[in-house]
Structure 1
Amino acid sequence: MSTITQPDQHESVISRMSVLDRFLAVWILAAMALGLLLGRTFPGLNAALDSIKIANISVPIAIGLLVMMYPVLAKVRYTEINRVTGDRKLMVLSLVLNWLVGPALMFSLAWLLLPDLPEYRTGLIIVGLARCIAMVFIWNDLACGDREAAAVLVAINSVFQVLMFGVLGWFYLQILPGWLGLSTTSAEFSFWAIVLSVVVFLGIPLVAGYLTRTLGERAKGREWYEEKFLPKIGPWALIGLLFTIVLLFALQGEAITSQPLAVARIALPLLAYFVVMFGGAMVLSKLSGLNYAKSTSVSMTAAGNNFELAIAVAIGTFGITSGQALAGVVGPLIEVPVLVALVYVAKWAGRKFWAGDPTVPVD
């Protein structure tokens, strides 16, 4: 989503960001406020939007998500996968954190803190399964992480989600609760609905992004592609995200404003999740011998979640005004300020625990 290049240690990261990226939190908060205002001003808006569906997928939401995710996935250097995957410590640590620790931690926090709210609990578990593939680029760049490592981890997470999201959703929502003697998700839950949502909202932009880069570089070269083409399509990622947030908050406006306590309860496990995942990833990365830049990339990708995909799956499976969708919508509200704060934590940790490492930012 971000249009900036690999960080220069002697240049301020903020100064090189576009106006759209620099004030990201402001735009997101404004989109949330606008969505809430629209939802409260036009009570019939949610029913009207919910009626525009194809194969139980909301067309307006689908448009926003596809517009948001395509530019992000078009930025990934797919040809660099072999180089970065050669770092076994980085790869193993990232895969374990993202696909074993992350989902299990969110499952535990959801059941521990929301035992009496099954819809919100299910929504959070879905969030835990959706590994970050979009906004992580922004947090990684702000913290001066290794952009190529982040890009490869994002690409791998993208492929894993297409292949494994439906399987893990079935396991964490039906199989594991049964083994533990806990109540399972409503019978309305559909494994194939999750698979369809993942294929539409992740598979389509992933294939489009891969083909765009491959064909673009083949026709015009990498320099043209990254310096001319990507800056033109980059802003559309944020436009798509903001459009989607406006729609989601318009649809959930009444629920959010009328249930502040429920929103606060959803926020608590999310906050705990971000802090534990980021802190644990930084410590494990340091112990594994990774430099600051790679440690930051591992930590940011582990802490962040793909709320866009989680929301899409929740909507496609449980409905656009469901509690599961609300849990996903609350996610960006908490993620943005927390991850911004963790950027500063990462820089502080770099100066304190990676002293002498040339990848530690000087600003």
Structure 2
Amino acid sequence: MSTFERYLTIWVGLCIIVGIALGHFLPDLFQAVGAMEVARVNLPVAMLIWLMIIPMLLKIDFAALGQVGRHWRGIGVTLIVNWAVKPFSMALLGWLFIGWLFRPLLPEAQIDSYIAGLIILAAAPCTAMVFVWSNLTKGEPHFTLSQVALNDAIMVVAFAPIVALLLGLSAITVPWDTLILSVVLYIVIPVIVAQVLRRLLMADGSTSRLDALLSRLQPLSLLSLLATLVLLFGFQGEAIIAQPGVIALLAVPILIQVYFNSGIAYLLNRWSGEEHCVAGPSALIGASNFFELAVAAAISLFGFHSGAALATVVGVLIEVPVMLSVVWIVNNTKGWYESAPAVRRNLNHNPSREH
């Protein structure tokens, strides 16, 4: 690990401070950049996410995707946490903290809207950014891609019914343009670009050119992550300074939900005997959110200045620092994870899989 990567959390903290400051002192600039969007998908942020995830996608050999089925335990855990636990646990946490404990500290007229925003956020599992978190935990890239693709397919049919059920609505308006454009921009195009580039670089049958490019792209990928942070916090700099108390209170159930769901996924994978390189991305996929879709859905249902929209934005703001903390936990508990009898048995039966 390079010195730059070792101190990534420090750079993240500095970027958060810089983003808030720039958003406050240069609001017109950030409003102009924030307006560069199609179907509420910000194009500058999309380009930065490309720079983040394409190096990870370059490592994926599509011919090996057929082997993902051997990680059936991790697949099952990821699906259960994402769709049977996460939205419902957030509904409970939203009611407990926003609807009860913090109620006297929040604007009464926005309480229900805040809870709705939290539920919408939890019902949209993360897509593109998962590649970054998985890479930082040395996660199995083929498993990560397969789970992202599976989540996208399920989201098309399950997002609206789950949100409608938990919000008590007869129907909701799904921002299909945002959903489809996000999947195309963040998954389809980068996968195609990465696979074409991979084939060109390996045309001679050697991986030397691919390895050389990856070594140069890795720092660029992390710099893009930091630049994305500056933009996201810059976009919301005014809101953070204007409503720091509300944002801090809304962050509490989101933080608990992240650690709760990632912890459940991690422990279930350990109990089932799944490999650590699968348990890491499984835990991270279960904890992070598809914030573009969540923000767009909240705005469509409740309006741009609603409590629901603000709640989803809080999810955006804490996504990177919180997920980095989960990455740290996963990386620093690998020895404990692999000491589980079920994991040891799995590795002993399949010694070639050991990492």
TM-score range, shorter chain: 0.7 to 0.9
Q: Which residue of 2 aligns with 1:332?
A: 320
Shift of 1:127: 5.0
Q: What is the alpha-carbon distance in structure 1 between the residues aligned to residue 35 and residue 277 of structure 2?
A: 45
Does 2:292 align with 1:312?
Answer: yes
Q: Which residue of 2 aligns with 1:252?
A: 236
Kept in 2: contact 1:127–1:328 (CA 8 A): no
Q: Which residue of 2 aligns with 1:243?
A: 227
Change (3 A) 1:57 1:287: closer
Shift of 1:100: 3.7
Q: What is the alpha-carbon distance in structure 2 between the residues aligned to residue 352 and residue 55 of structure 1?
A: 46
Equivalent pairs, count: 326
Which TM-score applies when normalising by structure 2? 0.77
Q: Which residue of 1 aligns with 2:182?
A: 197
1:57-136 to structure 2, matched below 5 A, reads 57-115=41-99, 116=111, 118=113, 121-122=116-117, 125-131=120-126, 133-136=130-133
Which TM-score applies when normalising by structure 1? 0.75
Which of 122, 134, 137 is residue 137 of structure 1 equivalent to? Answer: 134
Q: What is the alpha-carbon distance in structure 2 between the residues aligned to residue 314 and residue 281 of structure 1?
A: 22
Q: Which residue of 2 aligns with 1:172?
A: 162
Change (3 A) 1:350 1:78: same
Q: What is the alpha-carbon distance in structure 1 between the residues aligned to residue 185 and residue 282 of structure 2?
A: 28
Which of 175, 180, 195 is residue 210 of structure 1 equivalent to? Answer: 195
Kept in 1: contact 2:23–2:30 (CA 8 A): yes
Structure 2: 5+ residue stretches without partners: 100-110, 349-355
Query: Residue deviations 1:234-261, cap 9 Å, x none?
Result: 2222222222111111110121233222
Q: What is the alpha-carbon distance in structure 1 between the residues aligned to residue 76 and residue 117 of structure 2?
A: 28
Q: Which residue of 2 aligns with 1:269?
A: 253
Change (3 A) 1:245 1:223: same
Q: Percent identity?
A: 23
Kept in 2: contact 1:68–1:241 (CA 8 A): yes
Tell me the secondary structure at the aligned position of residue 185 of structure 2: helix
Kept in 1: contact 2:78–2:283 (CA 8 A): no
Q: Which residue of 2 aligns with 1:159?
A: 149
Shift of 1:85: 1.6
Change (3 A) 1:197 1:279: closer
Deviation larger for 156-165 or 247-256 = 156-165
Change (3 A) 1:67 1:227: closer
In terms of fraction of residues, the more helix-rich structure is 2
Q: What is the alpha-carbon distance in structure 1 between the residues aligned to residue 263 and residue 37 of structure 2?
A: 41
Q: What is the alpha-carbon distance in structure 2 between the residues aligned to residue 320 and residue 72 of structure 1?
A: 34
Q: Which residue of 2 aligns with 1:300?
A: 283
Kept in 1: contact 2:95–2:115 (CA 8 A): no
Q: What is the alpha-carbon distance in structure 2 between the residues aligned to residue 100 and residue 222 of structure 1?
A: 44
Shift of 1:170: 1.9
Query: Residue deviations 1:49-71, cap 9 Å, x none?
Result: 23333455433222222222222
Structure 1: 5+ residue stretches without partners: 1-16, 142-146
Q: What is the alpha-carbon distance in structure 2 between the residues aligned to residue 127 and residue 68 of structure 1?
A: 23
Q: Which residue of 1 aligns with 2:351?
A: none
Q: Which amino acid aligns with 1:176?
A: L
Shift of 1:169: 2.8
Q: What is the alpha-carbon distance in structure 2 between the residues aligned to residue 68 and residue 312 of structure 1?
A: 17
Q: What is the alpha-carbon distance in structure 2 between the residues aligned to residue 117 and residue 345 of structure 1?
A: 38
